[in-house]
């Protein structure tokens, strides 16, 4: 049995949740709160003192990208071609600045200051806006339409889809849904991925009131 341990939000665990759901592995989605997270960290259960972690029969795997690569192998979401597989890794590693930019705001208790900083990050020329523009530009030149220009959907697509579009769900105060309208290629990409048969089936029980509503077809229409 595998156990994916993360908070009760999409965040950096969602792509791995999807990959595990697509695999034949037996797994459990374990959602924890802040108090439980602190206890795990204090008990030495977290190799890098962060979540998510994937508890496997052989031991614990930390770091979201490592977990996603592990799950992706069992889900058939990593290309067999070594060049395409490397391009998948390249795209995933290249997404780091977006997460790091937003991370700077999580420890800010003052709501007005947090909102101000997030608005700056996503304003034209802001660090997060620049990351979104890079993704938009890369999708524009992708011949296949997939994130890493691969023959089929991969773990890079799960990461891009879940981590980018979750930003506009309303869970992050100061990040306006309207921002995504500046990126036409990301919007076309959302339409493609959200209508992928496996993705669509995975989120078929999600309603427009759920925090994962941005993963549904037509969410940004």
Percent pLDDT > 90 in the chain is 95
pLDDT at 196: 98
Average pLDDT over every residue of 13-37: 97
Dump pLDDT digits (tens) for 35-65. 999 999 999 999 999 999 999 999 999 999 9
143 falls within a domain: yes
120 and 29 in one domain? no
Residue 116: give its domain's CATH number. Answer: 1.20.1050.10
Q: Are 148 and 118 members of one domain?
A: yes
**Gap between the Cα atoms of 99 and 127, Å rounded:** 10
Domain total of the chain: 2
Clarify whether residues 24 and 112 are in a common domain: no
Residue 153 in this model has a pLDDT that exceeds 90: yes
Give the range of the structural domain holding residue 44, as residue numbers without chain letter: 2-75
Residues 29 and 45 grouped into a single domain: yes
Is 58 in the same domain as 99? Answer: no
* pLDDT at residue 107, as a whole number: 87
Q: In angstroms, rounded to a whole number, what is the distance separating the alpha carbons of residues 175 and 115?
A: 8
* Residue 13 located in a structural domain: yes
Q: Is residue 12 part of a domain?
A: yes
Q: What CATH number is given to the structural domain containing 32?
A: 3.40.30.10
Q: 167 and 66, same structural domain?
A: no
Of 75, 99, 120, at which residue does a domain stop? 75
Domain boundary pick from 51, 75, 99: 75
Are residues 179 and 124 part of one domain? yes
> Does residue 220 form part of some domain?
no
Over range 144-168, report the average pLDDT: 98
In a domain, 94, yes or no: yes
Identify whether residues 94 and 32 lie together within a single domain.
Answer: no
**What is the model's pLDDT at position 174?**
95
Confidence of residue 208 (pLDDT cuts 50, 70, 90): confident
Matching residue, tokens 């925090």: 211
- 129 and 210 in one domain? yes
Q: How many CB atoms lie within 10 A of CB 72?
A: 27
Residue 201 and residue 104 share a domain: yes
Residues 49 and 93 both lie in one domain: no
pLDDT per residue as tens digits for the range 113-138: 999 999 999 999 999 999 999 999 99
- My answer on whether 51 and 103 are in the same domain is no
Q: What is the mean pLDDT of the chain?
A: 96
DSSP string, 139-208: HHH-SSSSTT--SS--HHHHHHHHHHHGGGSSSSTT--GGGGGG-HHHHHHHHHHHTSHHHHHHTTT--T
* 79, 88 Cβ separation under 8 angstroms: yes
Whether residue 221 is contained in a domain is answered as: no
Q: What span, in angstroms and rounded, lies between the C-alpha atoms of 164 and 153?
A: 16
User: In whole angstroms, what is the distance from residue 194 CA to residue 161 CA?
Assistant: 8
For the cut 90, the answer to whether the pLDDT of residue 23 exceeds it is yes
Q: Where does a domain end: 48, 75, 102?
A: 75
The residue-averaged pLDDT of 77-103 equals: 95
């Amino acid at each position: 049995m595998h156990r994916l341990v993360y908070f009760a939000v999409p965040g950096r665990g969602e792509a791995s949740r999807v990959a595990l759901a697509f695999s034949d592995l037996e797994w459990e989605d374990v959602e924890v709160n802040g108090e439980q997270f602190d206890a795990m960290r204090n008990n030495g259960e977290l190799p890098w003192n962060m979540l998510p972690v994937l508890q496997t029969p052989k031991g614990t795997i930390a770091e979201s990208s490592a977990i996603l690569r592990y799950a992706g192998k069992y889900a058939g979401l990593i290309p067999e071609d070594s060049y395409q597989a490397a391009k998948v890794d390249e795209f995933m590693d290249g997404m780091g600045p977006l997460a790091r930019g937003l991370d700077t705001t999580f420890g800010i208790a003052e709501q007005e200051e947090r909102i101000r900083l997030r608005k700056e990050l996503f304003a034209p020329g802001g660090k997060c806006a620049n990351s979104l523009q890079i993704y938009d530009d890369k999708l524009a030149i992708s011949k296949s339409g997939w994130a890493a220009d691969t023959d089929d959907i991969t773990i890079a697509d799960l990461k891009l889809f879940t981590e980018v579009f979750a930003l506009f769900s309303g869970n992050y105060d100061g990040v306006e849904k309207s921002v995504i309208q500046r990126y036409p290629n990301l919007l076309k990409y959302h339409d493609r991925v959200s209508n992928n048969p496996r993705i669509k089936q995975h989120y078929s029980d999600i309603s427009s009131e759920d925090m994962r509503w941005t993963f549904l077809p037509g969410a940004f229409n």
